[in-house]
């Protein structure tokens, strides 16, 4: 299986039951029916993963603020 890393999405569009997510190099195409069924799982995973990042950033910020005192 090949992986494509997409850092940012520049364009979002829908047509004929498909969702298009694009940047300047790649376009991902999803069937909207399938995506809708999986959306709760996708949102749950993104929230959990983002929470890890936010905790790390918060910890780093608190440590920096302590050093300023």
Q: For residue 44, what are the contacts with CB-CB under 8 A and spacing of at least 6?
A: none
Instruction: Please tell me the total count of domains within the chain.
Output: 1
Question: From its phi and psi, is residue 16 left (phi > 0), alpha (psi between -120 and 50) or beta?
Answer: left
Residue 1 is predicted with a pLDDT of 87
Phi, psi of 7 (to 5 degrees): -75, -45
Q: Residue 17 domain-assigned? A: yes
For residue 64, the enclosing domain spans: 11-68
The model's pTM is: 0.72
Q: Residue 30 domain-assigned? A: yes
pLDDT in tens, 32-63: 999 999 999 999 999 999 998 899 889 899 99
Question: Would you state the structure tokens that stand for residue 19, as one six-digit string?
Answer: 């969702």
Q: Residue 4 domain-assigned? A: no
């Amino acid at each position: 299986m090949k992986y494509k890393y997409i850092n940012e999405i520049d364009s979002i569009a829908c047509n004929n039951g498909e969702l298009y997510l694009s940047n300047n190099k790649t376009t991902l195409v999803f069937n909207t029916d399938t995506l809708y069924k999986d959306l709760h799982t996708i949102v749950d995973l993104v929230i959990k993963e983002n929470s890890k990042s936010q905790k790390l950033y918060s910890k780093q910020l608190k440590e920096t603020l302590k050093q300023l005192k």
